Amino acid sequence: MTDQATPFSAVRSTSSVASTRSAGANSQISPSVEIALVGGAVQVRKASDLGEVADSLIPVTPQLKPLFPRGGLERGVTCSIRADLGAMSLLVNLLAYPLAQEKWVSMVGFSGCVPLAFEEACAGFELSESAGSLSSLLRRLVMVPSPVGDAGEVIGAAIESMDIVVINSSVLKLAPRVWSRLAAKLRSSGAALIVLGAAQGRAELECRVVEQRWFGLGRGQGRLRAQELQVRSRTKRDAQFRECVVEVGQHASYGIEMAR
């Protein structure tokens, strides 16, 4: 993927090649960008490909740091977000900051995601000159709405090539052996895996939204402008709960429907 790639890559995979269409905020479709799955690896530019040493932690927005024992997403670790109300808002907020920090993100098994969701979530972040504009940062977001063929192979390819891989477990029904294979890839690649929904006991850290509040409506007037999420997390290693409150956006919703 080159610097000329347009924002927001939506990938439709096949057994050997994932054809990528990029769409801007105006939803106009640009020419396809080919991403070849050669030997199980998606050929995209990543920090490690540029000779940079990857940190053990992937940064998250300061609001979310209290949820993580080390203050960020750990590479080689699986996290899960319970598929309750507010889960997609939490997920977008979690992914926006790494995108703004020039990390590569792939979402597998999601449909209906709009670039505006991530642009709104990133609006308050200070972007470096190399990160580019809010629109250009979305070139590092690769969507695979409906994997064709072996979903485990597609996810494994993304794990080998991306900084963060997100899978929708309510759409992708993976066998235990596939989970084991992905865990091995995760440890060797240095990516972070986020699972929306059940992670079959594989998640080292589990998050859930325990309360969701909306703001902006008056008596018979106004419109929803923001929401506040109270989020709780717990690790496998201890029974300690960690909590934080996250303020999300200025609009009623991100326009994303969670697949069931």
What is the β-pairing status of strands 41-42 and 33-38?
A: antiparallel
Q: Which residues contact 1 (CB under 8 A, 6 or more apart)?
A: 9, 33, 35, 44, 45, 139
CATH of the domain at 86: 3.40.50.300
In a domain, 217, yes or no: yes
Within a domain: 86: yes
254 found inside a domain? no
196 occurs within a structural domain: yes
Q: How many domains does the chain have?
A: 1
Asked if residue 255 is part of any domain, the answer here is no
On whether residue 48 sits in a domain, the answer given is: no
**34: closest CA among 57, 14, 64, 61?**
14
pLDDT tens digits, one per residue of 135-187? 667 788 898 888 878 899 999 999 999 999 999 998 998 999 999 999 999 98
CA pair distance 226, 254, nearest whole angstrom: 11
What residues contact 42, with CB distance under 8 A and at least 6 apart? 18, 35, 36, 106, 142, 157, 158, 160, 161, 162
Domain that holds residue 168: 9-42+56-248
The answer to whether residue 216 sits within a structural domain is: yes
pLDDT for position 77 = 94
In a domain, 189, yes or no: yes
pLDDT tens for 28-72 read 222 222 233 333 334 444 444 433 434 789 999 899 999 999 999
